[in-house]
C-alpha cells in the first residue's frame, strides 16, 4: 500500500488518473489536491470522495504551509504532480500565472517533498513523478524525426517555457539532492472530461451549438494525439517501475493535422445524428440536425503567435524499458470522445460558464477569417 498525493487531480488528466489509480491499486490511500481554477471540475470525483476512497483538498501547490501539513499528516510515498496551467493561448495573454504555478509551485512541492522524505527517512522508498509536455522541445519540420528524451529544449510559448523551467528544476533536484524523481513528457491528450478550451472538445461543443469552428492558419499544424487512458497507464508504469532521474516520452503515435482532426469530428457528429434521431431535438442548432453537415461550420482564422507547426513523440524508451504501449487508435478514440460529449451534455454545459464564454470571445473574437 502506498500513500499517494496527486496534484491537479480535478483537471482533465488528473481526474482520469485518479480513477485509473483507484481501479488499478484500490488499497492505496489517495489525497487529491487542486486549486480549483477555471479548468478544474470535481464532479467526476464526487463518488470517490463520498465513498472515502480518496480525500480531496482544495489548495494551491504554492502554499508551502499546506503542502507541509499534508506531508506530515499523510506520509506520502508517491507524488504524481500534474497541477499546472496548461493552455498556450492563455499563457500568451497572462504569462505570470504560468510562472507562478508551473515554476514556483513546482519548486515549493519539490522542496516540501524532499524535506519531508529526508526527515522521515522515506527518501529511499519514495517517488516523485513530474508530468510535463512535448511542447518543451519546440517545433518540428515536416520531415524531422520525432522528439526523443535527448532532444534539446526549445520552448516557443510562455506555457512551454514554464514547463521547461519546471523540468529543469526537477532534474536539478535529482542531481543536487538525490531527489527520487522522474519526468514524463507527453503529446496532446484527448478524451473524457477535457476542458472545452482545448481543440477537440471546443470543436465538438461549437458544432453542437451551431457555432463557427475556428481553425488556426491553414489547419496544417500537426500534433501527436494520445488518449488520456493510455497516458494514465503510462504514468502509473513510470512512477512504479521507471528509473529514478530518467525522462520518459509518452506519445500516441497518431500524428494528425488540425484539418484532419476537425474533419473527423464533423464526420462523427454527422453519423451520430443520422443514427440517433433524438439528437436533432436536443441540439437543433447543429447543422447535422437538418442534414446540412457540420463541415459547413469550419473556417480558418489568423494564427496565434509562436504556433509550433509539428510535434511528434518517439515513445520507444517507454515501450522498451517498461513495456508500456498505447492501445487506443486515434479514429476509434476520437469517436468514443465525441460520443462521450454527446452523452454528458450536463457536464459541459456546467463547465461552459460565463467566464468560459468571455474567454472564447477574447481569444477568437479578434481573429479574422483567412
The most distant pair of C-alpha atoms in the chain lies apart, rounded to whole Å, by 66
* Closest to 267 in 3D by CA, of 364, 335, 342: 335
Nearest to 139, CA basis, from 154, 121, 158:
154
Residue spans of beta strands (DSSP E) within 228-310: 247-250, 255-257, 298-301
What span, in angstroms and rounded, lies between the C-alpha atoms of 337 and 158? 29
The grid coordinates listed for 331 are: 479514429
Which residue intervals of 135-257 are DSSP H helices? 158-177, 199-208, 228-241
What's the distance, CA 131 to chain centroid? 9
> Residue 363 gets which letter from DSSP?
H
**Would the CA dihedral through 366, 368, 369, 370 be positive or negative?**
negative
- Cα dihedral sign for 109, 115, 119, 121? positive
The total of other beta-carbon atoms located within 10 Å of residue 304's CB is 14
* Nearest CA among 70, 171, 59, 83 for reference residue 112: 70
* Positions marked catalytic: 134-135, 159
CB 1 within 8 A of CB 29: yes
CA angle 92, 95, 98 (to 5 degrees): 120
Contact status, residue 298 vs residue 258, Cβ threshold 8 Å: no
Contact status, residue 173 vs residue 179, Cβ threshold 8 Å: yes
Amino acid at each position: 500500500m502506498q500513500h499517494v498525493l496527486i496534484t491537479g487531480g480535478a483537471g482533465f488528466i488528473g481526474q482520469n488518473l485518479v480513477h485509473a489509480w483507484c481501479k488499478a491499486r484500490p488499497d492505496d490511500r489517495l489525497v487529491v489536491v487542486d486549486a480549483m481554477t477555471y479548468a478544474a471540475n470535481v464532479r467526476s470525483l464526487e463518488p470517490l470522495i463520498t465513498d472515502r476512497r480518496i480525500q480531496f483538498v482544495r489548495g494551491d501547490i504554492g502554499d508551502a504551509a499546506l503542502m507541509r501539513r499534508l506531508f506530515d499528516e499523510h506520509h506520502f510515498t508517491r507524488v504524481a504532480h500534474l497541477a499546472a496551467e496548461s493552455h498556450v493561448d492563455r499563457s500568451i495573454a497572462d504569462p505570470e500565472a504560468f510562472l507562478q504555478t508551473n515554476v514556483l509551485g513546482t519548486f515549493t512541492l519539490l522542496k516540501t517533498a524532499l524535506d519531508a522524505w529526508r526527515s522521515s527517512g522515506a527518501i529511499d522508498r519514495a517517488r516523485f513523478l513530474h508530468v510535463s509536455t512535448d511542447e518543451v522541445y519546440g517545433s518540428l519540420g515536416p520531415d524531422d524525426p520525432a522528439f526523443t528524451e535527448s532532444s534539446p529544449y526549445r520552448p516557443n510559448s510562455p506555457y512551454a517555457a514554464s514547463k521547461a523551467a519546471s523540468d529543469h528544476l526537477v532534474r536539478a533536484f535529482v542531481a543536487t539532492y538525490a531527489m527520487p524523481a522522474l519526468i514524463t513528457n507527453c503529446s496532446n491528450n484527448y478524451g473524457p472530461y477535457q476542458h472545452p478550451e482545448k481543440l477537440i472538445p471546443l470543436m465538438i461543443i461549437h458544432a453542437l451549438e451551431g457555432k463557427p469552428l475556428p481553425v488556426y492558419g491553414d489547419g496544417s499544424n500537426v500534433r501527436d494525439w494520445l488518449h488520456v487512458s493510455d497516458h494514465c497507464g503510462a504514468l502509473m508504469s513510470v512512477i512504479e517501475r521507471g528509473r529514478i532521474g530518467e525522462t520518459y516520452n509518452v506519445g500516441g503515435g497518431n500524428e494528425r493535422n488540425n484539418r484532419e482532426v476537425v474533419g473527423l469530428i464533423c464526420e462523427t457528429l454527422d453519423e451520430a445524428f443520422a443514427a440517433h434521431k433524438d439528437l436533432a431535438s436536443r441540439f437543433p442548432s447543429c447543422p447535422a440536425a437538418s442534414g446540412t453537415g457540420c463541415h459547413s461550420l469550419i473556417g480558418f482564422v489568423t494564427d496565434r503567435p509562436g504556433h509550433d507547426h509539428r510535434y511528434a513523440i518517439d515513445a520507444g524508451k517507454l515501450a522498451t524499458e517498461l513495456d508500456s504501449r498505447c492501445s487506443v487508435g486515434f479514429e476509434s478514440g476520437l469517436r468514443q470522445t465525441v460520443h462521450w460529449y454527446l452523452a454528458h451534455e450536463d457536464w459541459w454545459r456546467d463547465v461552459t460558464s460565463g467566464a468560459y464564454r468571455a474567454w472564447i470571445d477574447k481569444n477568437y473574437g479578434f481573429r479574422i477569417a483567412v
